[in-house]
Amino acid sequence: MRFNVFPFLDADPVVMPPGMTAAEGALELLPIAAVVAGLENGRLVLELPNGIYRRLGLGADPATSVLVQELGARIAEFLHGNAMREEFDWRMGGAVEQRQFAVTLARVTKRTEPRCLVSLVDRTGEMRTEVNLRREMSTDSLTGLPNRAGFGDRLEALMARGVTDYAVLVVDLERFGRINSCLGGMAGDELLMAVARRMKGALRASDVLGRIGGDEFGVLVAIDGNRAEADQVARRIRGVLSTPFRLSDFEIRVECAVGMAFGADAIGDAEDVIRHAQFAVRRSKETGQAEAYQTQAFDRARERFAMETALRRAIEARQLELYYQPICDLSSGRITAFETLARWTDEAGRVLSPTEFIPVAEESGLIVPLGRWAIDEALRTLAAWDVRAGGQCGVQLAVNLSPIQLQRDAIAPLVAAALAKHGLPGNRLKLELTESALVADPDGIAEVLHALKATGATIAMDDFGTGYSNLAYLQRLPIDILKIDRSFVTGMLADRDKIAIVRAILSLASALGMDTVAEGIETPELGQTLAALGCTYGQGFAYARPLCAEDAWALLVARSA
Ligand code: C2E
Ligand code: MG
Ligand code: MG
C-alpha cells in the first residue's frame, strides 16, 4: 500500500504514517473505487489504495492528478463542515476524453480527526450510452436525417442563442398516403429516401434538413434578413422534386406544399415555430405555392377551435337559449308565428350571435346536437304556451335547419318524434332552410323535404334571393313560404333595384302559390309598402326584436287582448 499526501489550501504536503486506515477494505465494499480523505493539522490528506489511479484512468501520478486538482478543495470543504454525506456528479475535464463519476463523500464518525470516505463510481459508460441514445432518438432511422425531436433541438439551440435571421420551411408531400398504399410500404420508404437525397442536394451544407413527420420534411435555413430567400429555397426544393421519381418500373410524380415561418416572427418555442410553418402548409395546398405563416390566420383558427370546445360544453350543459321573434300578418298586424333564434351566453357572460357560432357548429358537426336541441326546445315552449292559453295559443313556431342537419341527421323521424313527444300537430311547426341546402344535393334533399312535409310541418325557404340556385327547383320541391332576404328589404324604399327584386320575388311566389315573409322590416312604412306590394307576412325590428320566451309570451298575450 502506498500513501500519498497532497497539498490543501496553502499548507505544505505532509506524509501520513503507514497503516492508518484499511483503505483497501473500504475499496472492496464500494462499487468502483474509494479513497479515504482526512484533515491533519488543517491539511487534506488522501489515502490511495494501490493502483486506483490506473484503474480509474486518472493517470499514474496522483500528485498531479485531476482528482486532486478538481476535487481537493471540495473534499476539504466537506471535511471542515458538519454534513454527514454529500453526493454530486463530477465530470473529469480531460481534453480528449471526458469521464463522468458519481462522487459520494461519507463522514467517518469514530475518529476525532475529520475523515471521510470518497467513493467514485465511474459513470462514463452510461453517459456514453445516454449520448448515443439521445442521438438515436433524434434521428430518423430511414433517412438518417434529424427527426422531429432532432430538428426541434437544432432549432431550439438557434433560438436559445437569440438568432432570428432564419426561416423554417415545412415541405409536405401530397398524396404520399396513396403512393404508399398503391406501391407498398417498401416503395414508399424508397421514395422518401430519394426525396430526402434530392432535397439535401438542393440545400446548402449549413441548412438543416429533417424528416419531421411521415411525409413531412423540415428545412432550417439562414436568410440574412431577406424573406425572399426562403421563397427561393422553396422554389429550389419544388424544382428538384418536380422531376418524376423512378421506382420499380413506375414513374412517380411528387407534388409538395410548402409552409414557411420566420424567426423574426417567432413567439414561443421551436415546436411553435414548426407548428406555424405546418399551419401555412394548409394554405399552400389551396394556392399551389409556398405560403408564409400569418399570425392572424393561426389566431383565428385557434379561436375557432376554442369556440368549438366551449360550444360543445355549452350544448351539453344546455346553456343555449332560444329567442323568439314575431312574424306578423302585414295587413292586420296579428302575430301568426315566432321564429326561434339561438342565443349563447358564454362563460364570460357575453351573448354570442348565431352568425358567430352557427358556422363553427356547422364546421364541427355540433350543429346536429344543437339542431336537435332547438327543435325540442321550441316545441316544449309551444306546448307550454298552449297550456297557459288553455288551448291552442294560435301561433306557429319556426325553427331554422342547417343544410348539415338535412344531410347528416335523420331529420324527418326526429321532427316527427319531437312533435309526438310534446303532443303537437305538425302544422304548428315551420322549418326554415336556406338555398344552400338545395345546392349541395338537389336530389337527396327532395326526398328529405317530402319526408319533412309528411310530418305536417310548413317549409319555408329562408334568405331567399341570396343563393345562386336554379329557380326550377321551386316547382319540384314542397315549399310553402319564401322568406325575402333582409338585404333586399332593409333600405328598400330608397333603392329602385331592391324594389324591383322584391316585386319579382312576390310575383314568383304568387305564381307558385307560396306565401311570403319579408325579413328585416325596420320601419312601419316599410311594412305598409310591402303589404301594398302583396307581401303576406313580415318580421323585423319594427314589430319586435327577438325576445326571450317569457317576453315573447307577454307580447303575444298583449296583442291578442
Ligand atoms: P335568419 O334565419 O335569417 O334570422 C333572421 C335574422 O335577422 C336574425 O338574426 C334576426 O335577429 C335578424 N333580424 C330580424 N329582424 C331584423 C331587422 O329588422 N333588422 C336587422 N338588421 N336584423 C333583423 P340572428 O338571430 O343573429 O340569426 C342569424 C342567423 O343565424 C339566422 O338567420 C339563422 O340563419 C341562423 N340561426 C339562428 N338560430 C339558429 C338555429 O337554431 N339553428 C340554425 N341552423 N341556424 C340558426
Ligand atoms: Mg330563419
Ligand atoms: Mg333569414
Proximal ligand: closest to the CA of 460: 2
pLDDT per position as a tens digit, 92-111: 765 556 677 888 888 887 66
CA 297/CA 319 separation, integer angstroms: 29
Q: Which residues line ligand 1 (CB under 6 A)?
A: 325, 341-342, 353-355, 358, 371, 374, 400-402, 432, 462-463, 486, 490, 519-522, 539-541, 546
Which pLDDT does position 248 carry in this prediction? 74
Give bridge partners of residue 328 from the DSSP assignment: 335, 538
Cβ-contact 427, 450 below 8 angstroms: no
Pocket test for ligand 1, best of 322, 341, 370 (most atoms within 8 A of CB): 341
Task: Compute the distance from residue 274 Cα to the ligand 1 centre, in Å.
Answer: 40
CA of 550 to the centre of ligand 2 (A): 20
Residue 14 pLDDT greater than 70, yes or no = no
Q: Which of 27-36, 101-110, 288-297, 440-449 has the lowest mean pLDDT?
A: 27-36
Predicted pLDDT at 561? 75
Chain centroid, CA 488 distance in Å? 40
> Nearest bound ligand to CA 358?
1
Across the range 198-215, mean pLDDT stands at: 94
Secondary structure, 3-state, 6-30:
CCCCCCCCCCCCCCCCCHHHHHHHC
Lookup: cell for 347? 362563460
Would you say residue 303 has pLDDT above 90? no
In 399-458, alpha helices (H): 403-408, 411-421, 435-440, 442-454
- The predicted model gives 527-547 an average pLDDT of 96
213-267: pLDDT as tens digits: 989 999 999 998 788 999 999 999 999 999 999 887 788 888 999 999 999 888 8
pLDDT of residue 28 exceeding 60, the answer is no
What pLDDT was estimated at residue 29? 33
pLDDT at 36: 78
400 CA → ligand 2 middle, Å: 5
Query: 425 CA to middle of ligand 2, Å?
Result: 21
Characterize 366-383 residue by residue with b for buried, 16 or more Cβ atoms within 10 angstroms of its Cβ, and e for exposed: bbbebbbebbbbbbbbbb
- Please report the atom of ligand 1 found closest to the CA of residue 521: 18
What are residue 39's DSSP bridge partners? 44
User: How do residues 46-80 score in pLDDT, each as one tens digit?
Assistant: 776 555 554 454 555 555 566 677 788 888 899 88
Q: Give the nearest ligand 1 atom to 405 CA.
A: 44
Query: For a pocket test of ligand 1, which of 519, 537, 539, 541 has the largest count of ligand atoms closer than 8 A to its C-beta?
Result: 519
Amino acid at residue number 431: L
Instruction: Choose the most confident range, by mean pLDDT, from 201-210, 436-445, 506-515.
Output: 201-210
Q: Report the SS3 class of residue 223.
A: coil
Q: Whose CA is nearest to atom 34 of ligand 1?
A: 400
pTM, two decimal places? 0.58
Per-residue pLDDT, 396: 97
Confidence of residue 489 (pLDDT cuts 50, 70, 90): very high
**Least confident residue range of 74-83, 142-151, 245-254, 543-552:** 245-254
Q: State how beta strands 98-108 and 115-122 pair.
A: antiparallel
Nearest CA to ligand 1 atom 22: 520
The pLDDT score that the predictor gives to residue 127 is 74
What is the number of the ligand closest to the CA of 465? Answer: 3
The Cα 423–Cα 469 span in angstroms is: 36
- Average pLDDT of span 471-493: 87
Residue 18, pLDDT above cutoff 60:
no
Starting at the edge strand found earlier in the chain, the sheet holding 33-40 runs: 4-5, 43-47, 33-40, 115-122, 98-108, 85-93
Please report the atom of ligand 1 found closest to the CA of residue 541. Answer: 18
Residue whose CA is closest, atom 14 of ligand 1? 540
Atom of ligand 1 nearest to the CA of 522: 18
Query: Which ligand is in closest contact with the Cα of 321?
Result: 1
Q: What pLDDT is attached to residue 110?
A: 65
C-alpha cell at 69: 486538482
Using the structure block, give the residue that is written with the C-alpha cell 438518417.
144
- pLDDT confidence of residue 62: 54
pLDDT at residue 5, rounded to an integer: 29
Ligand 1: residue whose CA is nearest its atom 8: 341
pLDDT given for residue 19 in this prediction: 39
Query: How much distance in Å is there from the Cα of 156 to the middle of ligand 2?
Result: 52
Q: Express each pLDDT in 170-196 by its tens digit.
A: 999 988 888 877 777 788 899 999 999
User: Is the pLDDT score of 2 beyond 60?
Assistant: no
Residue 7's pLDDT band, with cuts at 50, 70 and 90, is very low
What pLDDT shows up at residue 217?
Answer: 97
Residue of the nearest CA to atom 10 in ligand 1?
546
User: Ligand 1: which residue has its CA nearest to atom 5?
Assistant: 519
pLDDT digit string (tens) for 358-400? 989 998 899 999 999 999 999 999 999 999 999 999 999 999 9
Residue 328 alpha carbon to ligand 3 centre in Å? 15
Ligand that lies nearest to the alpha carbon of residue 490, given by its number in the listed order: 1
Percent of the chain with pLDDT over 70: 87
- Provide φ and ψ at 176, rounded to 5°: -65, -35
- Please give the average per-residue pLDDT across 453-471, as a whole number: 84
What are the cell numbers at 491? 333600405
DSSP structure string for 451-470? HHHHTT-EEEEEEETSS---
Q: Are strands 166-173 and 208-213 parallel, antiparallel or unpaired?
A: unpaired
Q: Which amino acid is at 150?
A: G
- The mean pLDDT value of the chain amounts to 85
Query: Average pLDDT for residues 325-329, to the nearest whole number?
Result: 98
